[in-house]
C-alpha cells in the first residue's frame, strides 16, 4: 500500500476537497469555504470520516456507463465493496467498474475498510 498521506489525499479529493495551498510539508484543502490540513482529513484513523466515504460510495448510481448501486460490507476484520443486487455469477456486466468484488482483510476493521475504499476510489477514478 502506498503512503498514508497520499491515500488520504486521494480520498479527500474524492470527497470534494480541493487542493488549496501547500506550506512546505503542510497540505491545505478547501471545500465549501472550509479549509483543513491533510492531517485533519485522517481517513485512515477516523471512523466518522471513513463512514462519510462509505455513504458516498453507496450513493453512487453511475460509474463508467454502468448504472447500479454499490454496497460496502464490513464484517469482522474484512471489508468488501460489491455492486448491490448483483449475484457473483453476473459480475461480468460490471467488469469495467470492478473486475471482481473488492475484498480486503487486515489487522483491524478500520484498516480493511480504509484499504477497500482506497482501491474503490482508484478504480472509480480510472473509469469515470
Residue 72 bridge partners (DSSP): 81
Cβ atoms 43, 117 nearer than 8 A: yes
The cell for 46 is 477516523
Per-residue model confidence as pLDDT tens digits over 61-105? 554 444 567 889 999 999 998 876 544 443 343 444 555 678 888
Report d(CA 4, CA 89) in Å as an integer.
Answer: 34
**Percent of the chain surpassing pLDDT 90:** 51
Q: What's the confidence (pLDDT) of residue 78?
A: 94
Cβ atoms 121, 58 nearer than 8 A: no
Residue whose C-alpha is closest to residue 36's, from 28, 46, 24, 26: 28
* For residue 23, pLDDT beyond 70: yes
* Neighbouring C-beta atoms of residue 73, cutoff 10 Å: 14
User: Mind listing the domains of the chain with CATH numbers?
Assistant: 4-127 (3.30.2120)
Average pLDDT over residues 93-118: 78
Cell 481517513 -> residue: 43
Is the overall model pTM greater than 0.85, yes or no?
Answer: no
Report d(CA 43, CA 21) in Å as an integer.
Answer: 20
Q: What's the confidence (pLDDT) of residue 45?
A: 94
Cell 489487522 -> residue: 107
Amino acid at each position: 500500500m502506498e503512503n498514508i498521506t497520499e491515500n488520504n489525499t486521494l480520498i479527500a479529493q474524492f470527497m470534494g476537497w480541493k487542493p488549496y495551498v501547500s506550506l512546505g510539508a503542510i497540505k491545505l484543502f478547501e471545500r465549501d469555504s472550509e479549509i483543513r490540513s491533510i492531517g485533519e482529513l485522517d481517513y485512515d484513523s477516523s471512523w466518522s470520516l471513513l463512514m462519510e466515504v462509505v455513504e458516498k460510495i453507496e450513493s453512487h448510481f453511475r460509474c463508467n456507463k454502468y448504472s447500479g448501486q454499490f454496497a460496502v460490507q464490513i464484517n469482522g476484520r474484512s471489508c468488501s465493496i460489491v455492486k448491490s443486487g448483483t449475484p457473483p455469477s453476473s459480475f461480468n456486466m460490471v467488469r469495467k467498474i470492478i473486475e471482481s468484488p473488492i475484498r480486503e482483510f487486515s489487522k483491524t476493521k478500520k484498516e480493511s475498510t480504509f484499504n477497500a475504499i482506497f482501491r474503490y476510489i482508484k478504480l472509480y477514478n480510472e473509469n469515470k
